[in-house]
């Protein structure tokens, strides 16, 4: 071939993408993550259902793509209906999120089952619901865990789990948590209804076991990131595993406003 | 394949699903025993209520609940009561479903109503359903009242979805509805099967681990796609499964269930065949004959309905993997995360 001759590549084996679902998932197994021998990504990804359904596939593949697209339509319609119902009802879950008082939590009596236990069970259900509906307090649980890379919407870079995000539905302050700890910890903040985050104070968290030093770097920050109040706790590196707890009071008048519980895990 | 064989095979293939289901299933069974044994022996009830839960089963639902909670950072103990509640509700619904479907076998043994009659079986099913509330209330001590109530609310929604789905399936049979499309089937499966089998365990697992900080709706698609593939595989096993399947062979045809396979058959059958299928389905199970069922079974093979359903299940499993890559990929690597990733393959490979 002389230098002036035009190079011509052979015709490609195929001229359309392989988008049929059955080509991605083979009978007898789902493709593993990673690359196959030809260097192609074998994981099912980056293919929208609409693309898959409209691709120029053989008839059986088109049927499968159509079935998968139908599945997406069914579940998305279901989700839309659920969201609409939730909007109409005003978010009943928010009511359940409220009013987590210590007395409720301390009760772990269990329930007798079957026969005569059922009355107690139903009664317990009725009491639990009745106790919740009128009271609106802000209750925030947080689990501080090792950081989740790339999971920033949920867990901050320092491994902080913020409180619930549905601030529209939960009356009262919606706290964020800032927790620094080398060990896994679990923090529970219970506040009475109407507690003003601007005036909350605590003297620290004291270990249930005698002789252990308290966790003193505990602070309420009224206007944290995004304007939300923040509960900040720095757990000393040498803090022994165990339960630490402390009262929350209103610094203006000394009235009790709730409690903080900190569990330092092994 | 028994549980030990499945675990050994799983180890050989590098899969964690069999081992993890056995492990979390064991945790859940221990919790179940606390509720099943709690009462003094009540004649005609306690043994009946404990029958299905103690027949075994793969414990997929509680395993998904615990694995999801752990994948998101919780410990097993946070989720095991909720997992037990799921399994109790599941068994309660099995008792009722078996009565409604006039099923003959469950987990390799005669159904509860065949052993004890419908009234006692129905009562045992009711007791199991109510019993499932107990662990959810006891969640208060470990998870706090707010989260415990949220989990109860999730359970109430799941029960409603199951009832909706079961009503659809029963209504189709009762009114001999034939004009059904795959979308109808998938909607029924979403409600009847997927919600309790996969979506609910995922949702409560996420809620437990994140204390409600994450919207569990994000995981519904994955759960639905896995659950739908699971249901289709279940329908397939009913026609082609071996003895380990544990239910009556061709039971869905005897019961006239509107499976994806039957819907496909109705769509492809010639006019005369469709009329005969309609006539067979119109009569109750007691009047359906062995030759009717065999004839429909042959038609299913002739029109390739088995292969179609299998391919749809594979497609749904592939879509589930796609959803997994979108919503779970950023979780830290763990055995629990790998289990969730393996679920789409597991549900279509199980025998």
Measure A218 CA to nearest chain B CA, in Å: 21
The pLDDT, as a whole number, for residue A107 is 30
A7 occurs within a structural domain: no
Test the A interface: residue of B9, B149, B330, B345 with most A CBs within 10 Å: B149
Q: Which residue has the higher pLDDT, B74 or A6?
A: B74
B104: left (phi over 0), alpha (psi -120 to 50) or beta: alpha
> Would you say A264 and A185 are in contact if contact means Cβ atoms under 8 Å apart?
yes
Distance CA B94, CA A150 (A): 41
Q: Which of A44, A82, A143 sits opposite B211 (nearest CB)?
A: A143
Which among B36, B33, B6, B9 is positioned nearest to B21, based on CA atoms?
B6
User: pLDDT tens digits for A14-39?
Assistant: 665 555 444 444 433 333 333 333 33
Rounded to the nearest integer, the mean pLDDT of chain B is 92
- Range of weakest confidence among A24-33, A223-232, B33-42, B243-252: A24-33
pLDDT, average across residues B235-246 = 80
User: pLDDT tens digits for B153-170?
Assistant: 999 999 999 999 999 999
- Range of weakest confidence among A13-27, A37-51, A226-240, B292-306: A37-51
A8 occurs within a structural domain: no
pLDDT band, very low/low/confident/very high, at A223 (cuts 50, 70, 90): confident
pTM, 2 dp: 0.65
The pLDDT, as a whole number, for residue A62 is 85
Provide, as residue numbers in chain B, all residues whose Cβ is less than 8 Å from the Cβ of A33. Answer: 341
Provide, as residue numbers in chain B, all residues whose Cβ is less than 8 Å from the Cβ of A93. Answer: 150, 153, 212
pLDDT band, very low/low/confident/very high, at A105 (cuts 50, 70, 90): very low
The pLDDT, as a whole number, for residue A38 is 36
pLDDT band, very low/low/confident/very high, at B13 (cuts 50, 70, 90): low
Test the A interface: residue of B139, B141, B142, B145 with most A CBs within 10 Å: B145
Asked which of A131, A152, A185 is the last residue of a domain, the reply is A131
| A36 shares its domain with A78 | yes
| A253 shares its domain with A142 | yes
Asked which of A131, A160, A183 is the last residue of a domain, the reply is A131
- Can you name the residues that pair with A14 across neighbouring β-strands? none
Cβ neighbours, 10 Å, residue B283: 13
- Range of weakest confidence among A224-238, B159-173, B214-228, B253-267: A224-238
| A260 shares its domain with A169 | yes
Q: Which residue has the higher pLDDT, A84 or B325?
A: B325
Measure A35 CA to nearest chain B CA, in Å: 15
If one counts the domains in chain A, the total is 3
A204 occurs within a structural domain: yes
The pLDDT, as a whole number, for residue A84 is 77
pLDDT, average across residues A192-211 = 86
Query: Is A156 a residue whose pLDDT tops 60?
Result: no
Provide, as residue numbers in chain A, all residues whose Cβ is less than 8 Å from the Cβ of B133. Answer: 121, 125
| A77 shares its domain with A98 | no
The pLDDT, as a whole number, for residue B188 is 97
The pLDDT, as a whole number, for residue A179 is 85
Judged by CB atoms closer than 8 Å, whether chains meet at A44 and B325 is answered as yes
A5 occurs within a structural domain: no
| A121 shares its domain with A186 | no
- Range of weakest confidence among A35-49, A161-175, B32-46, B252-266: A35-49
The DSSP result for B189-247, as a single string, is: HIIIIIIIIIIHHHHHHHHHHHTT-S-GGGGHHHHHHHHHHHHHHHHHHHHH--GGG-S
Q: Which residue has the higher pLDDT, A191 or B225?
A: B225
pLDDT, average across residues B80-107 = 95
Computed from CA positions of residues B174, B178, B182, B187, in that sequence, does the dihedral angle turn out positive or negative?
A: negative
pLDDT, average across residues A115-142 = 37
CB-count burial class (<10 Å; 0-12, 13-18, 19+) for A243: middle
The pLDDT, as a whole number, for residue A256 is 85
Q: Which residue has the higher pLDDT, B340 or A156?
A: B340
Query: Is A96 a residue whose pLDDT tops 90?
Result: no
| A181 shares its domain with A250 | yes
Judged by CB atoms closer than 8 Å, whether chains meet at B318 and A150 is answered as no
Catalogue all structural domains in chain B, each as residue range(s) with its CATH number.
3-349 (1.10.600.10)
The pLDDT, as a whole number, for residue A174 is 72
Query: Is A141 a residue whose pLDDT tops 50?
Result: no
Q: Which residue has the higher pLDDT, A5 or A198?
A: A198
Q: What percent of chain A has pLDDT over 70?
A: 46
Q: Which residue has the higher pLDDT, A20 or B113?
A: B113
B152-176 in b/e form (b: 16+ CB < 10 A) is bbbbebbbebbeebbebbeebbeee
- Can you name the residues that pair with A233 across neighbouring β-strands? A179, A218
Which among B257, B293, B252, B251 is positioned nearest to B276, based on CA atoms?
B293
The pLDDT, as a whole number, for residue B343 is 96
Distance CA A197, CA A220 (A): 7
Q: What percent of chain B has pLDDT over 70?
A: 93
| A80 shares its domain with A163 | no
Provide, as residue numbers in chain A, all residues whose Cβ is less than 8 Å from the Cβ of B145. Answer: 99-101, 104-105, 128, 132, 139
Provide, as residue numbers in chain B, all residues whose Cβ is less than 8 Å from the Cβ of A112. Answer: 38-39
- Range of weakest confidence among A56-60, B241-245, B270-274, B306-310: A56-60
ipTM of the complex model: 0.85
pLDDT, average across residues A5-18 = 68
Which among B228, B123, B245 is positioned nearest to B183, based on CA atoms?
B228
| A116 shares its domain with A174 | no
> Would you say B81 and B67 are in contact if contact means Cβ atoms under 8 Å apart?
no
CB-count burial class (<10 Å; 0-12, 13-18, 19+) for A225: exposed
Distance CA B326, CA A193 (A): 39
The pLDDT, as a whole number, for residue B37 is 85
Cβ contacts of B240 within 8 Å, gap of 6 or more = B306
A180 occurs within a structural domain: yes
pLDDT band, very low/low/confident/very high, at A98 (cuts 50, 70, 90): very low
pLDDT, average across residues B61-75 = 96
Structural domain boundaries enclosing A73: 21-87
Query: Is A99 a residue whose pLDDT tops 80?
Result: no
| A250 shares its domain with A166 | yes
User: pLDDT tens digits for A74-85?
Assistant: 999 988 887 777
A223 occurs within a structural domain: yes
| A143 shares its domain with A260 | yes
Rounded to the nearest integer, the mean pLDDT of chain A is 61
Give the HSE-up count for residue B59: Cα atoms under 13 Å, Cβ half-sphere.
29
| A149 shares its domain with A230 | yes
Measure B185 CA to nearest chain A CA, in Å: 10
The pLDDT, as a whole number, for residue A3 is 60
Judged by CB atoms closer than 8 Å, whether chains meet at A24 and B318 is answered as yes
A65 occurs within a structural domain: yes
Q: What percent of chain A has pLDDT over 90?
A: 14
Helix, strand and coil content of chain B, in percent to the nearest 5, comes to: 80, 0, 20
Judged by CB atoms closer than 8 Å, whether chains meet at B146 and A99 is answered as yes
Test the A interface: residue of B31, B120, B213 with most A CBs within 10 Å: B213
Distances (CA, A) of B124 to A121, B34, B50, B95, B105: 17, 17, 9, 8, 17
pLDDT, average across residues B89-118 = 94
The pLDDT, as a whole number, for residue B183 is 96
At A72, phi and psi to the nearest 5? -60, -40
Per DSSP, A39 falls in state: S
At A91, phi and psi to the nearest 5? 80, 75
Judged by CB atoms closer than 8 Å, whether chains meet at A115 and B45 is answered as yes
| A228 shares its domain with A112 | no
A35 occurs within a structural domain: yes
């Amino acid at each position: 071939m002389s230098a002036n001759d035009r190079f011509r590549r052979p015709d490609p084996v195929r001229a359309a993408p392989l988008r049929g679902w059955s080509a991605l998932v083979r009978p007898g197994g789902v493709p593993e993550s990673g690359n196959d021998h030809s260097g192609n990504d074998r994981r099912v990804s980056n293919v929208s259902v609409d693309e898959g359904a409209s691709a120029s596939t053989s008839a059986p593949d088109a049927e499968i793509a159509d079935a998968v697209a139908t599945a997406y339509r069914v579940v998305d319609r279901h989700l839309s209906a659920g969201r609409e119902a939730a909007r109409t009802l005003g978010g009943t879950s928010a009511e359940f999120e409220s009013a987590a008082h210590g007395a409720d939590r301390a009760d772990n009596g269990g329930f007798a089952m079957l026969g005569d236990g059922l009355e107690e069970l139903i009664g317990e259900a009725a009491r639990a619901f009745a106790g919740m509906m009128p009271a609106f307090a802000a209750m925030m649980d947080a689990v501080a865990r090792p950081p989740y890379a790339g999971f920033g919407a949920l867990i901050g870079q320092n491994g902080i789990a913020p409180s619930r995000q549905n601030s529209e539905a939960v009356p009262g302050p919606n706290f964020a948590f800032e927790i620094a700890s080398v060990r896994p910890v679990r923090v529970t903040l219970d506040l009475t209804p109407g507690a003003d985050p601007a005036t909350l104070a605590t003297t620290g968290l004291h270990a249930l076991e005698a002789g252990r030093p308290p966790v003193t770097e505990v602070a309420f920050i009224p206007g944290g990131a995004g304007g939300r109040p923040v509960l900040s706790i720095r757990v000393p590196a040498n803090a022994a595993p165990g339960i630490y707890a402390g009262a929350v009071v209103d610094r203006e008048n000394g009235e009790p406003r709730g409690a903080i519980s900190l569990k330092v895990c092994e | 394949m028994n549980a030990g064989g499945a675990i050994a095979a799983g180890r050989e293939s590098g899969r964690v699903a069999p081992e993890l289901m056995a492990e979390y299933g064991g945790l859940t069974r221990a919790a179940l025993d606390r509720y099943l044994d709690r009462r003094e022996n009540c004649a005609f009830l306690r043994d009946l209520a404990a029958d299905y839960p103690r027949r075994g089963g793969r414990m997929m639902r509680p395993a998904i609940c615990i694995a999801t909670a752990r994948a998101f950072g919780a410990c097993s103990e946070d989720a095991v009561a909720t997992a037990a509640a799921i399994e109790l509700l599941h068994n309660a619904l099995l008792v009722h479903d078996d009565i409604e479907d006039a099923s003959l076998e469950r987990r390799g043994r005669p159904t509860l109503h065949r052993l004890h009659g419908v009234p006692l079986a129905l009562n045992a099913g009711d007791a199991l359903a109510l019993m499932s509330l107990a662990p959810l209330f006891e969640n208060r001590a470990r998870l706090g009242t707010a989260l415990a109530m949220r989990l109860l609310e999730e359970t109430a929604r799941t029960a409603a979805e199951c009832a909706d789905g079961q009503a659809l399936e029963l209504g189709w049979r009762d009114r001999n509805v034939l004009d059904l499309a795959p979308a109808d089937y998938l909607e029924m499966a979403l409600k009847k099967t997927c919600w309790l089998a996969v979506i609910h365990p995922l949702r409560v697992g996420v809620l437990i681990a994140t204390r409600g900080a994450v919207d569990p709706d994000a995981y519904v698609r994955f759960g639905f796609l896995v659950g739908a593939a699971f249901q289709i595989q279940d329908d397939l096993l009913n026609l082609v499964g071996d003895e380990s399947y544990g239910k009556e062979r061709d039971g869905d045809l005897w019961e006239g269930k509107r499976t994806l396979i039957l819907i496909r058959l109705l769509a492809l059958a010639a006019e005369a065949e469709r009329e005969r299928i309609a006539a067979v389905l119109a009569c109750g199970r007691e009047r359906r004959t062995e030759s009717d069922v065999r004839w429909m079974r042959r038609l299913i093979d002739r029109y390739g309905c088995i292969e179609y359903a299998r391919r749809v299940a594979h497609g749904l499993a592939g879509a589930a993997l796609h959803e997994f890559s979108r919503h779970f990929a950023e979780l830290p690597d763990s055995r629990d995360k790998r289990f969730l990733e393996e679920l789409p393959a597991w549900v279509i490979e199980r025998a």
